[in-house]
């Protein structure tokens, strides 16, 4: 009915760059910059002007959230390019897990023994070092240098010690977490194998579909991680309420 000449967009859910940028609270310049880095899909082109959809908007909003959380553009880029088909929320959680996103392949890093002790806020202790070595979390390089094999575990662990937990408690948590999370991990992998991989093997294995199956399995990693994290968090909160809440209440009495 109404055909205003200034509004060629009759598809209700499509925007021009300008509208897109506005809704995402970004400048057009940055929208284009992200687009040029492949962070958003190319728009539907009509002549020379592009028309963007809600999917584009959501992607930009995700980028903004991650940027606002303090991640570098490079890290955001890495996260998005890694899991293109994963829902935006999952990618966000994935980034939180990966922290930086870059050193996911070989995270090991060299650190003087004194530095590790400083991070934990405790005096240097050979026994603690040995305990970490036994857990395959670090390696002895020489008398003064350590190789941190799993910084994602060691760094927060040191932080926990710095906050007042005993090193023994923190170190003791590692085998405990490995054991219990390992059960859940093996269960999920087993079910994935049975329900996703096996059917493809059974029905004749069209070779060209393998990348897709493999991709699906890969993408389950961040999704499962997110669920694990959410459940663990709620368990932590529940424990805090009962255990610590009770003690505080007793103090009040």
Binding site for DNA (CB under 7 A): 16-18, 27, 29-30, 32-33, 43, 47-50, 73
Total residue length of the chain: 253
Q: Strand pairing of 109-112 and 49-51?
A: unpaired
Dihedral sign, Cα of residue 161, residue 167, residue 170, residue 174: positive
**Whole-number Å distance between alpha carbons of 218 and 196:** 12
Specify the residue, 47 or 164, whose C-beta has the smaller distance to DNA.
Answer: 47
Q: Mind giving me the DSSP string for 73-119?
A: HHHHHHHHHH-TTS-HHHHHHHHHHHTTSSTTS---EEEEHHHHHHH
At 70, give phi and psi (nearest 5°).
100, 0
Looking at the Cβ atoms of 55 and 244, the one nearer to DNA is 55
Please say which residue, 45 or 251, places its beta carbon nearer to DNA: 45
Rounded to the nearest whole angstrom, what is the least distance from the CB of residue 47 to DNA in the complex?
7
Secondary structure of 125-157 in the HEC alphabet? CHHHHHHHHHCCCEEECCCCEEEECCHHHHHHH
Q: How far is the CB of 25 from DNA (least distance, A)?
A: 10
Task: Tell the smallest beta-carbon distance from residue 16 to DNA (Å).
Answer: 4
Nearer to DNA, 52 or 161 (CB): 52
Query: What stretches of 193-209 show up as alpha helix (H) in DSSP?
Result: 198-202
Report the nearest approach of DNA to the CB of residue 48 (Å): 5
Nearest by Cα to 25 from 85, 65, 81, 78: 65
Q: How far is the CB of 33 from DNA (least distance, A)?
A: 5
Q: Two tokens at 151?
A: 């910084």
Residue 110 backbone dihedrals phi, psi, to 5 degrees:
-85, 145
**Closer CB to DNA, 42 or 199, in the complex:** 42
Least Å distance between CB 79 and DNA?
Answer: 16
Q: Specify the residue, 17 or 128, whose C-beta has the smaller distance to DNA.
A: 17
Q: Min. distance of Cβ 172 from DNA in angstroms? A: 44
């Amino acid at each position: 009915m109404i055909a205003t000449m200034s509004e060629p967009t009759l598809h209700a859910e499509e925007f021009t760059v300008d509208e897109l940028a506005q809704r995402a609270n970004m400048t057009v310049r940055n929208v284009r910059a992200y687009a040029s880095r492949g962070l958003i899909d190319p728009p539907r082109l009509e002549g020379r002007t592009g028309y963007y959809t809600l999917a584009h908007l959501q992607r930009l909003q995700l980028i903004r959230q991650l940027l606002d959380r303090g991640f570098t553009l490079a890290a955001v880029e890495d996260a998005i390019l890694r899991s293109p088909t994963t829902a935006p929320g999952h990618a966000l959680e994935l980034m939180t897990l990966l922290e930086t996103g870059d050193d996911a392949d070989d995270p090991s890093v060299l650190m003087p023994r004194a530095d590790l002790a400083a991070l934990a806020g405790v005096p240097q202790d050979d026994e603690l070092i040995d305990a970490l070595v036994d857990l395959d979390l670090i390696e002895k390089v020489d008398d003064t240098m350590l190789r941190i094999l799993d910084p994602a575990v060691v760094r927060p662990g040191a932080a926990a010690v710095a906050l007042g937990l005993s090193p023994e408690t923190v170190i003791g948590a590692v085998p405990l977490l490995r054991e219990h999370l390992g059960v859940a991990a093996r269960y999920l992998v087993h079910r994935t194998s049975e329900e996703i991989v096996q059917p493809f093997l059974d029905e004749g294995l069209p070779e060209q579909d393998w990348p897709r199956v493999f991709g699906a399995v890969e993408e389950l990693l961040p999704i499962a991680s997110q669920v694990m994290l959410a459940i663990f968090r709620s368990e932590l909160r529940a424990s805090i309420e009962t255990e610590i809440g009770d003690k505080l209440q007793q103090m009040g009495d």
